[in-house]
Structures are given as structure tokens and as C-alpha cells.
Amino acid sequence: MAKLWETSKVGAGSGAALDPMIEAFLSSIGFDNRLLPEDLEGSIAHAAMLGEKGILPEATARELVRGLEALAAGARDGSVTVDPKAEDVHSFVENELTARLGDVGRSLHAGRSRNDQIALDIRLWLRKRSSELRAAMLGAFDAICDLASAHASTLMPGYTHLQRAQPVTFAHHLMAWCAALERDYGRFEDADRRADESPLGACALAGTGLPVDREATAGSMGFARPSRNSMDAVADRDALVEFAAAAATMQMHLSRFCEEIVLWASAEFGFVGVDQSCSTGSSVMPQKRNPDPAELIRGKAGRAYGDLVGLLVIQKGLPLAYGSDLQEDKELVFDSADTAIACARAFARLVRALEPRPERMREAAEDGCLWAADAAEFLVLKGLPFRTAYVAGRKLVEARAAAAGPAKLGRSPAVGAVIADLGAAGLEALHEAWKGVDPGELARYLSLDACVARRDLVGGPAPSRARTEIERIRGFVAGKRTTLK
């Protein structure tokens, strides 16, 4: 198959032809064949512009456009497939067009280079994948909100250092996932805005002396503008890096969420079950069900980081403008996008497969002194300095531990029962800060439901706040669906 660059032997040295092994090594067709639809889209816009500007006769341009549209239709229905012997997707398109149209096909490349072609193709491809990924993310928001809406009042322990810390609700915890994913969604949108410019017309690096209309081609493909500098246009791969960075951050978040699912599904926590649609059995131990999707999503985060680092390292120290090093960017960004889309979709399915166990969550929350900070705050409201109140609260924690006794490690009586046993005199004996406190008032204040309900502040776990946040995220999702390309 003819190569687009085989025009001269000038400076070629003594070799008669390109070494077949080197030819295979240089070929990118094994992966850039994925860019066929985008290469055809860019070629159609370019051919139409050549006719409009009089660079080619209008009849010739129309024939090129018809030929390219026929190729695009064939690519969609599978009747046109990329020849694996082609050097790259650009060569394939031009050679196929020439085979169909004769010399008319040879006119297509006027005013452009493979350098601006590939920069354009990858942006067109990335724009589609970004939309696809964000659509998958919206599905994850839906799944989380649907699960959370049934558990606005379901108590569970909140953790720091993986130690039970304070009471929250299951809905509040789930909506924390949405908070992180909402930032991720914004990162993809931000990256899209910066990538919204067309490199077409930058040619090899210095533009072209032909009177091309870069604004026209950019507009016809839906870009906001042409790129600002022809050298930067063919060298720039920031769009790929930003996408991969956003994808790696999203994968980090999904990995953290999936780690929680793995913990929650264990017998030691027992907070959720995982439906058989998203769990697998053991080949040896018939009693087991494993949350494999969560584990695999967690594992794929490392792959996402590798794609990002690879894209950065390829460009480190690379002088302007284009270098063949940039051929290596495509497999990395393809993998970054494929992995992110697959993980977002799998995560949404996994969330829908969760089977919460509210009784076990409440039991875990009650089986600890998750009210301890509230005990200190109770005294703060009585006018005591916080540090004094903290010490008095700690004394109440110690009293509860003593009431449990050594035979009940990790299992303590409810704080209300401990307070009732202590009575007013017993409370005062713990610490002078408790003098004059009504035991009944304190017990009601320290019930976990009251502790959660009292946190009725923006971002807090009170059931009313969780419901408000669920509705806000549902509105966010609905709005984004209307604008998603």
C-alpha cells in the first residue's frame, strides 16, 4: 500500500527501502484504526472547506465529500474495515478514497498534514468518550440516590482511622460518594472546555500558505475555536493528560468506595450483602460469595494511574513541535477511557446490587461510645469550657466501660442505662461538671437518633439534610442529561 510520505530519496542514505521490521515497528494501524470514524469526520470538514475557499473546484470537493461519506457509512455498517497493512488510519483513508475516486482522492491532503490530522482525530474521539463516560457517571449517581433515598434514617457508625467515631446515616455516607463524583464530573467538563479547539489547519507545524478557513472547519465539527498557535496545536496533548488525570481521580474515588463495600460485605462488618448478580462463588469453598466487581474496580485504579503517568512521561523533554514519540499516546488514552467507562458502569450496577442490613448497622453504632463528643457538647451548652467538658465526657465513657465489665469486651450497655444506674449523684461523682445535670435530659440528648437529628446543618447527617441532598443530586443529574452531547 502506498505511503503518503514516499516522494523522494533525498537524504535517504544508502538503503534501498525501509527495513520490513522497522516498517512494522513504526506502524500505528494496530491501534489507531479505532480513529477511523473521527478521521473521516475531519476529512469531510476539510474537503468541504477546500471547495468553499476555491482551493479545489467545488465539483471535486463535492465528489470527495460524497466518497468520504460513503466510507463513513461503510465504517458504521461494517462493510469498510481498516486494512491492517496500512501504515496508519490516515493513509488508509486516502488510499481507499483514491482507489474509489482515482486522482480526485489525491486532492484531499491539500493544506493539512498527518500531524494536525492526528491531533484532530484524537480530540474528536476524546470528546465522544468523555460524553460516554459522563453518561455512565450519571448512572452511578442514579444508583446511589435510589439506594440512599430508602435509608435517610438508617443509623450506622461513621469512622475515622477505621475506628467507630460518630453516628451518621447510611444515606449520608452514600451521599459522600456523590459529593466526590460530582467533583469528578466537573473535572471532565473543565477538561472538555479547554480541549474545545480544532488543530486542523496547523498542518505540519507552521500552517499552510493555502487560503484555508480554520474557523469554518472548527465550527463545522462543533469546536468553539481553532487552536491559537500552529506549533502548539500539533504538539499539544494536554487534552489527553487532563482526561486521564480526571479519570485517575475518579478511579481513586471508586476504589475507595469499593474498599468500603468490600469491608461492609465481610462477616466482620456485615453491613451489606451483595446480590448474586454482582458477586461470585469460590471454586473450593461453597459457602463463600465474593464482591469481585468491587475488588476489580479497586484494582483498576492502578491501571488508570499508569495511563496518566505514561502520557506525562512521553511528553517530558519532548521539543516542539511533533515527534513520533506522540504515537505512543493513543494506546494509553484509549485504555484510560475504556477502563474508566467500564468501571463507572460496573460501579452503578454494583451499587444496585447492595442489600443493606440496617439492624447490623445500628447494632454497630450502639456498640460504641459514638455519643461521646455530644456529651462534651451537652456541657458546652451549659456554659462549660470545651476542654473541661471533654474530660467530663471521657469520665462518662469510662463509666460505661466499667459497667460492661471485662467479660464483655466490645459489648457495653446502652448509655441511657448507665446514666440511669448512676443517677444524679453518680454523675456528679464522675466529674464535678455533671453536678446538677438531669440524668433523663442527658440520656435523651445522647441517644444516637438525637445525635444525628441534631446535626441539621449544611452538609450534616440529619435525615432532613440527606433527603435535601438526594433531591439536589437528582436535579444535578437531570440537568446534566439535558446538556450532555
- pLDDT digits over 336-395, tens only? 999 999 999 999 999 999 999 999 999 999 998 999 999 999 999 999 999 999 999 999
Encode pLDDT of 401-419 as tens digits.
888 776 454 456 789 999 9
Cell numbers describing residue 248: 485517575
DSSP-H helix ranges across 353-430: 358-366, 372-380, 386-404, 415-430
CA nearest to 174, candidates 457, 461, 447: 461
3 state DSSP class of 165: strand
| Residues belonging to the active site | 161, 282
Question: Residues 373, 384, 414, 451: is their CA dihedral positive or negative?
Answer: negative
| Full DSSP string of 106-146 | GGTTTT--HHHHHHHHHHHHHHHHHHHHHHHHHHHHHHHHH
Q: What backbone torsions phi and psi does residue 362 show, to the nearest 5 degrees?
A: -65, -40
Encode pLDDT of 268-319 as tens digits.
999 999 999 998 888 898 888 999 999 999 999 999 999 999 999 999 999 9
- Identify the DSSP state of 319: P
Question: Residues 72, 78, 83, 88: is their CA dihedral positive or negative?
Answer: positive
Determine the pLDDT at residue 371: 96
CB atoms within 10 A of CB 407: 6
- Give the position of cell 472548527: 218
Pairing of strands 197-198, 225-226: parallel
Rounded-to-integer distance, Cα 485 and Cα 480, Å = 10
The answer to whether the CB of 450 falls within 8 A of the CB of 444 is: yes
Q: Using only C-alpha atoms, what is the Rg of the chain?
A: 31
In percent, the amount of the chain with pLDDT more than 90 equals: 87
Determine the pLDDT at residue 411: 57
Rounded-to-integer distance, Cα 128 and Cα 237, Å = 16
CA nearest to 381, candidates 286, 454, 304: 454
Higher pLDDT, 144 or 27: 144
- Give the position of cell 465526657: 393
Rounded-to-integer distance, Cα 90 and Cα 186, Å = 33
Pairing of strands 289-290, 155-160: unpaired
Cell numbers describing residue 173: 455516607
Determine the pLDDT at residue 409: 44
pLDDT value at 5 more than 80: no
Determine the pLDDT at residue 407: 46
The CATH topology of domain 20-110 is Fumarase C; Chain B, domain 1 (1.10.275)
pLDDT value at 111 more than 90: yes
Question: Residues 126, 254, 291, 153: is their CA dihedral positive or negative?
Answer: negative
Least reliable range by pLDDT among 8-12, 407-411, 421-425: 407-411
Rounded-to-integer distance, Cα 296 and Cα 302, Å = 11
pTM of the model as a whole? 0.93
Higher pLDDT, 246 or 485: 246
Cα dihedral 269/274/280/283 (nearest 10): 40
- Identify the DSSP state of 318: P
Rounded-to-integer distance, Cα 7 and Cα 15, Å = 15
Higher pLDDT, 367 or 68: 68
Determine the pLDDT at residue 12: 54
The CATH topology of domain 115-218+228-357+474-483 is Fumarase C; Chain A, domain 2 (1.20.200)
Question: What average pLDDT does this structure show over 155-163?
Answer: 97
In percent, the amount of the chain with pLDDT more than 70 equals: 95
Cα dihedral 160/161/164/165 (nearest 10): -30
- Give the position of cell 465513657: 397
What integer best gives the mean pLDDT of the chain?
Answer: 94
Pairing of strands 289-290, 280-281: antiparallel
Determine the pLDDT at residue 174: 98
Rounded-to-integer distance, Cα 396 and Cα 431, Å = 9
Encode pLDDT of 214-271 as tens digits.
999 999 999 999 999 999 999 999 999 999 999 999 999 999 999 999 999 999 999 9
Rounded-to-integer distance, Cα 10 and Cα 24, Å = 23
Determine the pLDDT at residue 11: 58
Residue 281, beta-bridge partner list? 289
- Give the position of cell 488510499: 95
